[in-house]
């Protein structure tokens, strides 16, 4: 087994990465769009929920601070 230099090791690593990526079961365009919509809706709901909790706690705690 020949010794590989630093660039040879990087090249071997990238070759293995490319081989592994060929094995991946990629989602279809339609699946990807539906997953993206689900994520965006979930994020919007969580932002709204956290915002409401933040405003409520701010209104409850502020009178005790002043």
Predicted pLDDT at 46: 98
Do residues 24 and 17 touch, judged by C-beta distance below 8 A? no
Residue 29: pLDDT over 80: yes
- Side-chain-facing half-sphere of 36: CA atoms under 13 Å: 7
Query: Alpha carbon 10 to chain centroid distance?
Result: 26
Q: What is the dihedral sign for C-alpha 45, 55, 61, 59?
A: negative
Residue 2, pLDDT above cutoff 70 = no
The ranges assigned to domains in the chain are: 27-66
Q: In sequence order, what are the residues at sequence separation of 6 or more whose Cβ sits closer than 8 angstroms to the Cβ of residue 21?
A: none
d(CA 42, CA 56): 21
Q: What percent of the chain has pLDDT over 90?
A: 82
pTM for this model (two decimals): 0.64
């Amino acid at each position: 087994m020949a010794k590989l230099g630093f660039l040879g090791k990087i090249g071997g690593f990238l070759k293995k990465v490319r081989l592994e990526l060929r094995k991946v079961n990629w989602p279809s365009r339609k699946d990807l769009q539906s997953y993206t919509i689900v994520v965006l809706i979930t994020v919007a709901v969580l932002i709204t929920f956290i915002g409401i909790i933040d405003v409520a706690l701010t209104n409850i705690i502020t009178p005790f601070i002043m």
